[in-house]
Amino acid sequence: MPAFNVITVGGTIDKVYFDAASQFEIGDPQIHRVLAGAGVVDFVVTPLMRKDSLQMDDTDREAVRQAVLASACDRVLVTHGTDTMALTARHLGDVGARTVVFTGAMQPARFLETDAIFNIGFALGTLMSAAPGVYLTMNGRVFDPHKVRKNRDQGRFEDAG
């Protein structure tokens, strides 16, 4: 069995931009390239959907939940758009003995300057060392999905109080 499962749902991490007017689509998952570049092996990828997180609804969040629960792995990394990542993480509820970590990016993984590679690496470290539960990792920090918010002005995640 692989050490962990990556479930991809889209978001900025996989975006492909076509012009300066921000025309984009969600492209192929970039997780294979990022993890291979870091020498990471022994994982399986489940490309679940290709959506901007602002387009996700409760049916999509339930699909993520079901994919996590159906995974043969006890450790699951979910790459997700940052706008509604916490909402989807909260939707998971009880995941039993699984460790689930959500992460995303403010700039696509295809860009030369991106936070995607760091965020994925940090999320993977958290995934492999954290106790069972659901976490959100961004900007070098680990958050409880019930106590986090995205600060759009600062371009980062922070404690919600």
* pLDDT, tens digit (0-9, with 9 covering 90-100), for 2-59: 899 999 998 777 666 555 556 655 666 778 787 888 888 888 999 999 888 788 999 9
Q: What is the pLDDT of residue 3?
A: 92
Sequence ranges of the domains in the chain: 4-159
CB proximity list for 55: less than 8 A, separation 6 or greater: none
Beta-sheet strands, E only, within 19-126:
24-26, 43-51, 75-79, 99-103
- pLDDT value of position 26: 65
CATH topology for 4-159 is Rossmann fold (3.40.50)
- In the DSSP assignment, the letter for residue 55 is G
Catalytic residues, by residue number, are 12
- Give how far Cα 16 sits from Cα of 26, 51, 107, Å: 6, 12, 10
148 pLDDT band, cuts 50/70/90, is very high
E-only strand ranges, the chain = 4-10, 15-17, 24-26, 43-51, 75-79, 99-103, 133-138, 141-143, 148-151, 156-159
Query: Coil, helix or strand for 28?
Result: coil
Let me know how long the chain is: 161
